[in-house]
Amino acid sequence: MTDVVSLAQALIRCPSVTPAEGGALALAGEYLSAAGFAVERVTFSAPGTPDVDNLYARYGSGAPCLMFAGHTDVVPPGDVSRWRHDPFAGRIVDGRLYGRGACDMKGGVAAMVTAAVDFVAARPAFAGSIAFLLTGDEEGPAVNGTVKLLEWAKARGEVLSHCILGEPTNPDRLGDMIKIGRRGSLTGRLTVTGKQGHVGYPHLARNPVPTLLRALSALIASPLDGGTAHFDPSNLEVTTIDIGNPATNVIPAAATAVFNIRFNDLWTLDSLKAEIADRLARARREGDAEVALAFDPSNAVAFLTDPGPFVTLVSEAVEAQTGRRPALSTTGGTSDARFIQAYCPVVEFGPVGGTMHQVDEFVAVDDLVALTAIYRAALERYFG
């Protein structure tokens, strides 16, 4: 199990800040290839976005196929002078492995690769197959990564049965939480167009601000829902209001606002958009400034993986190693699981995420070893 620590250190030393590959995918590919996996590197492009390197690997060709998924790209380290340890040195101090991506999610990648390599070495002729889907685009636009790699794999005839995504899911201790779904995300933009004028002559102008305030009040006046058995209530948050008027004696010509909704599986994107439009229509008054509503194209749907046999299998593997039965959760932001769920059932389980994206990000060395054992136990249970 010491191999997982060495691999995690080596991955951290690859400066793979999105969209740079930095050698991280090449390193993971070397480990998998040496173990007998068929490894392919695939690069995707799109106008206005950087090219992104990705990796797909598979051992075996039969069913069922358990896929491990993750990303090797990381967010920038920020002000390096604020780090106690070089963010790309992979230093171990007092039982902690420090570095950008230690918990999000090079530690998880190292654990799943080590577990799979150990498993196929011990059981090379197991019935079924293991796949890896690793992207370099999760922390960026998420355009040329997992979503396109899944399409590419499907076009090749790859059939995936279940997936474990190694995102950092545990809030405090390894074994606290498995994610079995995620809320959706919808971003809307309001643009209210009035008529600029002198504040002393309001009858010659049309102020967009009162209209915007009434519109926003209508959006937040009542809850969208009360939540479900597995999801928190949907919440709409106004994230910015912009008028851009430096003068104190001028009625502005326009005002804008942006809001984001994290919604549960009571809603689809279409039904939620219709609800927002209906609330705005009911709030409109005669003489109001013109309100334009637009939704961002990059949104995420809510999904839930049925808490059945596969979720139970992973939960039992976690409990056997940690002594804790993990809570089944749908909290947090979005992840690449939103793309994977369209191809196979997916659960998320990975390191403690308390320091992800922070200065001095770290993962406990003991947790890396335990996480590798959990993934290995999941493989043993999955393939009987």
Specify whether the backbone of 238 is left (phi greater than 0), alpha (psi in -120 to 50) or beta.
beta
Annotated catalytic residue 73: yes
> Given 21, 53, 73, 348, which residue is catalytic?
73
Q: CA-to-CA distance for 20 and 254, rounded, in angstroms? A: 40
Location of structure tokens 């005669």: 286
* Phi, psi for 92 (deg, rounded to 5): -110, 120
Whether cis (ω within 30° of 0) applies to the bond prior to 141 is no
> Can you list the alpha helix ranges (DSSP code H) found in the chain?
2-12, 24-34, 107-122, 146-155, 208-220, 269-283, 309-322, 337-340, 365-382
Given 21, 118, 137, 138, the catalytic residue: 138
Q: Which residues of 325-336 are buried (b: 16+ CB within 10 A; e: fewer)?
A: ebbbbbebebbb
Question: Would you call the peptide bond into 105 cis, given omega within 30 degrees of 0 as the criterion?
Answer: yes
With vertex at residue 151, the alpha carbon angle to CA 112 and CA 143, rounded to the nearest 5 degrees, is: 80
* Whether 275 is catalytic: no
Show which residues are catalytic.
73, 138
